[in-house]
Amino acid sequence: MQIPKLFMILLGATPKGRNIEQHDIFFGIGFSVKELLPEMLAFWPEANGKIHIDAYRIINKVGGYKVEVIAKADENKTELRSLFFMNLGGYKRDEFEELHYKMLAVADQKALAIKEAKETAFYKHVGFKGATSHIDDKFGVDVDDIFEIKDILSETTKSKYALKFTSDSGLPEDEIFLGYLPLSKI
């Protein structure tokens, strides 16, 4: 029996009126990337169907936790932990760019996920006086600038699936698939 998986997908597009490629992160649950194509297209309607994938990850492990997709009916309503997504931004002196680091954390509250983000090498070393590192959309770290994955999944997905977290430090790191992948090639 196939088990559905949680996908984190970096989408790219150059929407009409933009001068450079834009990116966004899509989270979806399914059996394959191909199965998620309709949701990805609906997620970014401004791209007018002209999106591609630059990277994706099947999320099985975050920190010391095994991450599993389960049926919504099997969800543990007393589970305190959640999976959080953060997009950290920062700067390097004399580089005309805002650098980003996308991060996942399993925690029982947003404040603990933010604390974990502040401990990353990226957060500590990408920034300088007047241009400090931050969680995107704010100049300082703010609880409102991180997302619980369960909140940003599509309504259809949320009605069918839930996430389960089990302590397990022995799991291998998730593989990250990198490279330009047009949707027509999936």
pLDDT, the chain, mean: 90
Predicted local distance difference test score (pLDDT) of residue 136:
66
Tens of pLDDT, residue by residue over 139-148, are 454 433 689 9
Instruction: List 89's β-bridge partners, or say none.
Output: 100, 134
Higher per-residue pLDDT: 68 or 78: 68
Q: What is the mean pLDDT of residues 148-160?
A: 95
What is the distance between the alpha carbons of residues 13 and 98, in angstroms, rounded to a whole number? 18
Summarize the confidence of residues 61-74 as an average pLDDT. 96
In tens, the pLDDT along 87-131 reads 888 888 888 988 888 999 999 998 899 899 888 888 888 877 888
Which range is least confidently modeled, 85-89, 132-136, 165-169?
Answer: 132-136
The pLDDT of residue 123 is 81
pLDDT of residue 66: 96
The pLDDT assigned to 138 comes to 54
Pairwise CA distance, residues 44 & 66, whole Å: 29
Q: Is the pLDDT assigned to residue 132 strictly greater than 80? A: no
Nearest to 45 by CA among 20, 21, 11: 11
Domain ranges for the chain, please list them.
1-60+171-185, 63-160
Q: Which helix (H) or strand (E) holds 89?
A: strand 82-90
Q: Rounded CA gap, 13 and 50, in Å?
A: 6
CATH 3.10.20.10 assigned to domain 1-60+171-185? The reply is: yes
Give the bridge partners for 90, in sequence order: 99
